[in-house]
Amino acid sequence: MGNNALALNPLSSNIDITTHASDFLWAIFSIMAASGLGLLALGSTRPLGQRAFHHLAAAICFTASIAYFCMASDLGSTPIAVEFIRSGSLGANWVALGVDRPTRSIWYARYVDWAITTPLLLLELLLATGLPLTEIFTTIFLDEVMIVTGLLGALVSSKYKWGLFTFGCVAEFYIWWMLLLPARKSANNLGGGFPKMYALSASILSALWILYPVAWGLADGGNVITPTSEMVFYGVLDVLAKPGFCFYHCIAMSTCDYNRLGFVSGKYSQAATAEERYYNTQHLNHDEHANEHRSSTATRVEGSSPNAAAHNGSTAHPGFKPTQAAV
């Protein structure tokens, strides 16, 4: 049975995808879905308390698979009049047929995907640096600004789209700066294999993200390439930036000292490793004995020193992060 998605969901724009583009999108959908399952399987080989990065990565791929399902089915787009009428099928042929303002499909399904997956990608990367949460949240906020301004710009048919595009580029420059300088410095302070892992992961993601504004300018913005070429451009980028990056990052994380991230709650839980459970139990018992000692001392010794009574001999948590955020 052939691909009849375009017959069931008729084209809504003059400049739209072809059946070959739909076939390609179905292939990307399959890659994304299979990668999500693969990342979950890879995560199952790690201890319960060390699967957060694998589950984040799987969520990224599953979300992208839904977006590609929509686009392969010719769903999740809207027609927008192009600013630039190019030769052939990119506008001139339609003008010759009497269409004054040819329209091009703008795939909002892709932007919904990015609004969910790009913050998760940043979390996947930045949570392995010990960077202060305030800086992580700021970076994620500017990432959302980048995606929303890209969508708004794509939906505008006049030259004002380039103003929105500029706002998005400014936000992306901040993200690049954060990934390559402050976050890298923080990862270097972690040690335990994180500096090398982060340097390569951040370089890969930053290099790939540079190409997305180029694709936007050639497709949604400038109407330079056909929708089929657009799908190939974005599709290859998405495969590299999502499953490709996520598999590398998760495998590289397995060589790092996970405990240095400090992702231990202090509770005797199912997810805690044997070492963490031992520490948590001993730490709680020590605190109980210390409290009993302070109470008995305060009862026996009238007017004892407040500093001595408040003294707690507990040791530092094994997950303490010697990063720029630590005091």
Write the DSSP assignment of 210-251 as a string of letters.
HHHHHHHIIIIIT--S-HHHHHHHHHHHHHIIIIIHHHHHHH
> Do 105 and 234 belong together in one domain?
yes
User: Three-state SS for 105?
Assistant: strand
In this structure, are 114 and 201 located in the same domain? yes
Range of the domain at 274: 268-319
Residue entry with tokens 């691909």: 3
The answer to whether residues 138 and 273 belong to one domain is no
- 255 and 288: one domain? no
Assess if residue 327 is contained within a domain: no
The string of DSSP codes covering 13-42 is SSB---HHHHHHHHHHHHHHHHHHHHHHHH
Q: How confident is the model at residue 305 (pLDDT cuts 50, 70, 90)?
A: very low
Is residue 282 included in any domain, yes or no?
A: yes
Task: Tell whether 132 and 173 lie within a shared domain.
Answer: yes
CB-based contact 129:253 (threshold 8 Å):
no
Query: Is the domain of 252 the same as that of 291?
Result: no
φ, ψ (nearest 5 deg) of residue 78:
-145, 145
Pair 58, 192 in one domain = yes
208-233: per-residue pLDDT in tens? 999 999 999 999 999 999 999 999 99
In the chain, which ranges are continuous DSSP H helix? 5-8, 19-43, 52-72, 92-96, 108-126, 133-154, 161-180, 182-190, 194-216, 227-239, 245-253, 274-300, 306-309
The number of folded domains in the chain is: 2
- Say if residue 33 is in the same domain as residue 129: yes
Mean confidence (pLDDT) of the chain: 86
Whether residue 212 lies inside any domain: the answer is yes
What integer pLDDT is reported at residue 297 of this predicted model?
Answer: 53
Q: Residue 40's CB: how many other CB atoms inside 10 A?
A: 17
| 115, 217: one domain | yes
Strand partners, 105: 79
296 and 242 assigned to the same domain: no
324 located within any domain? no
Instruction: Give the tens place of pLDDT for each residue, 228-256.
Output: 999 999 999 999 999 999 999 999 998 89
29: domain CATH number is: 1.20.1070.10
What is the reported pLDDT for 10? Answer: 84
Please report whether residue 325 resides in a domain.
no
In this prediction, residue 6 carries a pLDDT of 87
Residues 161 and 291 in one domain: no
Instruction: At 15, give phi and psi (nearest 5°).
Output: -105, 100
Q: Are residues 299 and 215 in the same domain?
A: no
